[in-house]
Amino acid sequence: MQKSQLKAVDFFCSGGGMTNGMRRSGINIIAGIDFDEDCKETYELNNPNSKFILADVFDLKESELEKNLSLKRNDNDLVLIGCSPCQYWSIIQTSKEKSSKSKNLLGEFERFVKYFNPGFVVVENVPGIASKKEESGLAQFIIDLEEIGYKVKSKVVNLNDYGVPQTRKRFSLVASRILNDFVFPIPKRGKKPVVRDFIGIQNGFKKISAGHKDSSKFCHSASKLSDKNLKRLIGTKNNGGDALWWRSDEDLGREKYRGDGFRDNYSRMSWNKPSPTITTKFFSISNGRFAHPEENRAISIREGATLQTFPKRYTFYAKSIQGKTRMIGNAVPPEYARRIGKAIIDSIKS
């Protein structure tokens, strides 16, 4: 890793996925901002010298942030990163009422962009923010950036093309005020990463059973399974087997699962394919194709983090399992973040 002159502030930083990847690219992340206090310990202990600012962006004033971090306006070396919580625009079923506040976060982030006028702006979010660009405010956000002198590049990408072993589609935007042309992260040609490349015994994950608790920082812990769910999984074929076999079974089936609906729920990952999108519910086999390819359990907390490309030394501190899985599932995969940072640095050099 070669240090650059660039420094950044990571809005909506959560547990630090974007921060960690950008740091590894050589960008100095001055601070991360989030309203969830549970993220502070995870963020700061894994990303030393990057300050965690506990704040709700709706209440945070531009001048307050300027003073707190000794930032300068019109700084060509400043990057503002906005990866706002995306539940409202997600295709995954969520409570729109509970997540409605998140739909306006892009506009709040824009306040800081206009105030600081940084050299670069980075936005990462679910594809829904682009497919509903008028409603989400993305269309106006891009117009506003261009009107104040930014060159904007954006697209929906599959992160499996960028070193992440998931089928995870995301919207990405990079804008620059100082470069007329710059390189967007380039997708990888040839073999793409798959589950086998990241988890399994060959990658340092010992075999465990459902309900296993790992009290170490590695956190190779797996959720418990009911007797019925364990029987369902035992009978499911290894390496990509689905749950259709038991859904009409008199003892194991349930009416709502008969037919082809919810095919991925209770199903196994495949060794030689990318995993599905790691969500905040990856710890439960009832919420997607989150069963281990061959062991009779859901993937562990550490396996989920590893499929998100967090380093194995990255430690998650939270009061509950749900707190840890929320930080992992909501994160920008660090490897993709690293590639965004590297693309920006390479563009400046060239």
Name the token pair of 129.
């923010």
CA 238 to chain centre: 27
Name the token pair of 255.
């009416």
Q: Which residues are catalytic?
A: 86
Give the orientation angle of helix 105-116 with respect to helix 62-69, to 10 degrees: 60
Residue 204 φ then ψ, to 5°: 90, 15
Name the token pair of 165.
């072993």
Name the token pair of 140.
């106006």
Element (H, E) at 329: helix 321-330
The answer to whether the beta carbons of residues 253 and 247 sit under 8 Å apart is yes
- 124: CB partners within 8 A, 6+ apart: 18, 81, 83, 170, 171, 172, 173, 332, 337, 340
